[in-house]
């Protein structure tokens, strides 16, 4: 084992250009090289793929990688082949020449990594071929897809265990970024025939800035967030297919390069939009949650949720697509009462048993509490995964953009308005009642005569809308009607109204009506570069794009932004000096070194 780990460290440098493992990788790689079954729960951006790629290069035999998306397979194959690694995939997007290359490499046993979908792995004829091809291990990416407890269950993953048994005695290793205790137990039961070594790493992603805001003219809020972020790649998640297309149109109208992505699009158009996002710099994709799993683009600088995510697990997975290169990245999550009501209604309408429904409601409640949190966002998020952390110092709450106060009296006023108006009206109507605004409907219903009318006239309607939203998030209010909406009191709401419970509330965010702090130097990937180095970074990016287009690959397959940043800062003058830069292994140095050295010498 020590010899294999020594070889692994050498390979890490010579092939991938990395001086050392990322935190947690070495333990997982050692377990894999020891032949143990392994389940590794590692956050997005922590280098999960290295934990099966490196062993495949160090010991003999073929590693099969089960992946849910053709785009991810193609992406990883391109990156590995750029590194000089014999890798391939079998999928419907292959041309004849590529498929022939892969089959020949399988036949002569020169292939080190083969990427397959779970459906392709289930084919009897392929199983027989693989059984003769010297398969040593099967790595299952996005392993949470095997579990109905997970946030992205895929029935085809249930066929993997049978395929493993058909191929023969091979090592099974599974990887996922998000899996709570129930999901982990289910993965172990459905993928492994013996107890695996389980690695549960920290979920913390300190390079990702977290920000939440209640919806208040969402496009204005998104525009403010995007100030200074032109030329950066990002994702905007929307709750419906139609909203993605309207969001992409709006972004393009405002000078951004944007495309839409959702499952209902024409297949070829969807593929072109995805490829454009993956291959070009500075493209924003407006997408439903159908987009993102397995997206390996390292330089996504921001993720926006234009609508509330489905759960904490989904939120974590989706924001994890930002900053995979370790550089500073930003997130913005917008939410409202309508989002909360929709998500809860979707859970209630699912065809699941009562216990599953209870767990899903609990998961969603964790998300609403995160949205309305009064403590550090990172602390609150990590607590959802049973992990403790100190205040991060740079989320919206740590920056002082959100204030907290004893809101019991205000909560009682709002709850009283709900109760005295018959527990059937929504936030707009109730805010009018509380502020003493007489409308035709309020007069017709006689609600201008109730005791609560005008009791909150010292506050604007927006504040009462915020309080009602927080009460809904705190489970003091619930939807009165699936069809018509409105609020009704819960048991907790009654307890607060009657003085048996107190409640802290958040004031309106200090920054809610001013642009989010963002300027070109703070938001850009060239943070920390002076003007001369920033100009060199731009020139290196331009050369990278030329090469990527000529080779027909994504720009980051050539070099990641982090590599270009180090080149701009350190300005190596020879190929020997360039070899010391992060992310430049022997194959890439030989293939691209001269082209980038030319830029470095001309710009110096």
**Are 306 and 441 contacting, i.e. CB atoms less than 8 angstroms apart?**
no
pLDDT digits (tens, 9 = 90+) for 103-154: 999 888 899 999 999 999 988 778 888 888 889 999 999 898 898 776 678 8
Instruction: Check residue 516 and give its pLDDT.
Output: 40
Q: Domain tally for the chain?
A: 4
CA–CA separation, 173 vs 192, rounded Å? 9
Same domain, 132 and 279: no
Same-domain pairing of 184 and 142: yes
Instruction: Examine the domain organization and report whether 533 and 586 are in the same domain.
Output: yes
- Looking at the chain, the number of H-run helices and the number of E-run strands are 27, 18
283 plus 328 within the same structural domain: yes
* Residue 567 forms part of a structural domain: yes
Contact 191, 161 (CB under 8 A): yes
Confidence (pLDDT) at 179: 78
Q: What's CA 359's distance to the chain center, in Å?
A: 22
| pLDDT for residue 31 | 96
Task: Determine, yes or no, domain membership for 362.
Answer: yes
103 and 166 share a domain?
A: yes
Are residues 39 and 189 in contact, defined by beta-carbon separation less than 8 angstroms?
A: no
SS3 34: coil
For residue 27, the domain's CATH number is 3.40.50.300
What pLDDT does 400 receive? Answer: 83
**Boundaries of domain holding 423:** 404-506
**Strand segments (E) across 432-507:** 477-481, 485-489, 504-506
- Domain assignment of residue 379, yes or no: yes
Based on the fold, state whether residues 90 and 35 are members of the same structural domain: yes
Q: Is 189 domain-assigned? A: yes
pLDDT at 514: 40
Closest-CA residue to 138 (of 253, 278, 32, 282) = 32
The confidence score (pLDDT) of residue 489 equals 96
**Reduced to 3 states, what is the DSSP secondary structure of residue 568?**
helix
In the predicted model, residues of the chain with pLDDT beneath 70 are: 1-2, 150-151, 293-294, 482-485, 508-528, 604
Long-range contacts from 488-497, C-beta under 8 angstroms, 24+ separation = 488/418, 488/423, 488/424, 489/415, 489/418, 489/419, 489/423, 493/415, 493/418, 496/408, 496/411, 496/412, 496/415, 497/411, 497/412, 497/415, 497/416, 497/419
Domain CATH for 487: 1.10.10.10
**392 falls within a domain:** no
Phi, psi of 387 (to 5 degrees): -125, 135
**Is residue 456, in this structure, part of any structural domain at all?**
yes
pLDDT at residue 508, as a whole number = 59
Tell me: do 164 and 90 sit in the same domain. Answer: yes
Q: Does residue 464 share a domain with residue 327? A: no
273 and 305 part of one domain: yes
Question: Residue 1 contacts by C-beta under 8 Å, 6 or more apart in sequence?
Answer: 30, 33, 34
| 554 inside domain | yes
* Prediction pTM value: 0.77
What integer pLDDT is reported at residue 150 of this predicted model?
A: 64
In Å, what is the CA distance from 397 to each residue of 202, 227, 468, 476, 496? 22, 20, 20, 23, 25
Domain containing 584 — which CATH number?
1.10.150.80
Domain boundary among 444, 475, 506: 506
Residues 26 and 81 in one domain: yes
Pair (432, 374) in one structural domain? no
pLDDT of 427 reads: 86
Instruction: Say yes or no: 178 and 220 in one domain.
Output: no
Backbone angles phi, psi at 315, to 5 degrees: -60, -45
């Amino acid at each position: 084992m020590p010899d294999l780990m020594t070889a692994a460290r050498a390979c890490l440098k010579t092939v991938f250009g990395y001086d050392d493992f990322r935190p947690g990788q070495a333990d997982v790689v050692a377990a894999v090289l020891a032949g143990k079954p392994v389940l590794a729960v590692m956050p997005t951006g922590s280098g999960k793929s290295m934990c099966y790629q490196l062993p495949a290069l160090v010991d003999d035999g073929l590693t099969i990688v089960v992946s849910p998306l053709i785009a991810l397979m193609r992406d990883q194959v391109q990156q590995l082949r750029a590194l000089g690694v014999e890798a391939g995939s079998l999928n419907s997007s292959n041309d004849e020449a590529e498929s022939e290359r892969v089959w020949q490499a399988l036949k002569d046993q020169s292939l080190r990594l083969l990427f397959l979908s779970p459906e392709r792995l289930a084919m009897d004829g392929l199983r027989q071929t693989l059984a003769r091809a010297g398969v040593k291990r099967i790595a299952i990416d996005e392993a949470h897809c095997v579990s109905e407890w997970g946030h992205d269950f895929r029935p085809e993953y249930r066929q993997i265990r049978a395929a493993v048994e058909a191929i023969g005695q091979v090592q099974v290793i599974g990887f996922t970024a998000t899996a709570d205790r129930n999901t982990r137990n289910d993965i172990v039961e459905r993928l492994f025939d013996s107890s695996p070594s389980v690695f549960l790493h920290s979920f913390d992603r300190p390079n990702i800035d977290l920000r939440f805001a209640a919806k208040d003219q969402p496009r204005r809020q998104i525009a403010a967030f995007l100030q200074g972020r032109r030329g950066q790649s990002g994702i905007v998640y929307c709750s419906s297919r139609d909203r993605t297309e309207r969001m992409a149109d709006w972004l393009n109208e405002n000078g951004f390069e944007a495309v839409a992505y959702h499952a209902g699009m024409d297949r070829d158009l969807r593929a072109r939009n995805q490829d454009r996002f993956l291959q070009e710099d500075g493209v924003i994709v407006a997408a439903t949650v159908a987009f993102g799993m397995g997206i390996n683009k390292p330089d996504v600088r921001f993720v926006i949720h234009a609508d509330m995510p489905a759960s904490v697990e989904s939120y974590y997975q989706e924001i994890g697509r930002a900053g995979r290169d370790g550089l500073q990245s930003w997130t913005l999550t917008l939410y409202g009462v309508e989002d909360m009501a929709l998500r809860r209604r979707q859970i209630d309408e699912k065809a699941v048993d009562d216990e599953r429904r209870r767990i899903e409601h609990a998961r969603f409640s964790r998300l609403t509490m995160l949205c309305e949190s009064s403590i550090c966002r990172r602390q609150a998020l990590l607590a959802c995964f049973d992990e403790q952390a100190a205040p991060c110092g740079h989320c919206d709450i740590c920056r002082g953009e959100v204030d907290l106060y004893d809101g019991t009296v205000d909560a009682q006023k709002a709850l009283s308005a709900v109760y005295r108006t018959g527990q059937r009206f929504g936030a707009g109507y109730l805010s009018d009642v509380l502020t003493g605004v007489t409308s035709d409907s309020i007069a017709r219903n006689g609600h201008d005569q109730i005791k609560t009318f005008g009791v909150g006239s010292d506050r604007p309607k927006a504040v009462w809308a915020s309080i009602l939203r927080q009460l809904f998030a705190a489970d003091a209010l619930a939807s009165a009607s699936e069809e018509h909406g409105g609020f009704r009191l819960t048991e907790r709401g009654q307890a607060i109204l009657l003085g048996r419970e107190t409640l802290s509330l958040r004031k309106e965010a200090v920054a809610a009506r001013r642009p989010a702090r963002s300027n070109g130097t703070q938001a850009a990937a060239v943070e920390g570069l002076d003007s001369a180095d920033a100009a060199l970074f731009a020139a290196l990016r331009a050369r990278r794009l030329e090469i990527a287009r000529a080779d027909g690959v994504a720009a980051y397959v050539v070099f990641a932004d982090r590599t270009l940043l180090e080149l701009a800062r350190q300005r190596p003058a020879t190929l020997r000096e360039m070899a010391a830069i992060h992310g430049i292994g022997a194959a890439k140095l030989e293939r691209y070194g001269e082209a980038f050295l030319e830029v470095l010498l001309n710009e110096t």
